[in-house]
Amino acid sequence: MRFMVSPVELRRIVQEWRTRLQRVQQILQPSEWGVDDWNRFARALSQMVRAHGSTWKEGETTYWDVRWSLHDGGELICQAEDGTDGKKTLVVAQTGGFAEGLDNYTWFYGEFGQTGDFLGNPYWVDGTWKEALAMMLLPQQAGAGFYLSGGSVGAAPMLTAPSASTQQA
């Protein structure tokens, strides 16, 4: 029995594998984000947390909180804070999973002024959390299901900033 593949089907298969290989290359060698990229991402993430998170006030400070369960265990927590001096803070941290035994593992910490620009140097650790949340910010890929599942809101105190010795520029 002879097996023949049509030229159209062969092109489809080649294109499919080309796309998969490009995706693998992006995972193995992700593009580096600069401070401006992180600023845009953090502002969009902050808006999403304010729109969908639980909220509470302590004194004059307002907080928002959104949490997702991670497939590998633990939670990814995103919290925003609006202080009385116009300063806004955004934190993305993980509890559980590889961070089991720690209070939390901070993926991102940034403070913004009234113009939306970073105050001081933001702190970040690049990882799949960024890609998962970036995809959630895009309407056509709101599920990001291969990274996160089951969003929920909570009301825990704001996470603490990482030490100054680990800050990145």
pLDDT by residue (tens digit) across 41-92?
A: 888 889 889 998 899 999 889 999 999 888 888 888 999 999 878 889 999 9
Instruction: Supply 144's token pair.
Output: 């990001």
Q: Is the pLDDT assigned to residue 93 strictly greater than 70? A: yes
Q: How far apart are CA 154 and CA 79, in angstroms?
A: 10
pLDDT band per the 50, 70, 90 thresholds, residue 165:
very low
Query: Which 3-state string (H, E, C) describes 82-146?
Result: ECCCCCEEEEEEEECHHHCCCCCEEEEEEEECCCCCECCCCEECCCHHHHHHHHHHCHHHCCCCC
Q: Is the pTM of this model over 0.85?
A: no
User: What is the pLDDT at residue 78?
Assistant: 92
User: What is the pLDDT at residue 102?
Assistant: 81
Q: Contact at 8 Å (CB) between 81 and 63?
A: yes
User: What is the pLDDT at residue 156?
Assistant: 54
Q: Contact at 8 Å (CB) between 61 and 84?
A: yes
**Distances from the Cα of 11 to the Cα of 2, 7, 23, 51, angstroms:** 20, 6, 18, 44
Q: Is the pLDDT assigned to residue 105 strictly greater than 50? A: yes
User: What is the pLDDT at residue 54?
Assistant: 92
Per-residue pLDDT of 112-152, as tens digits, reads: 988 888 888 888 887 777 777 777 776 544 444 444 455 55
- Give the SS3 label for residue 55: strand
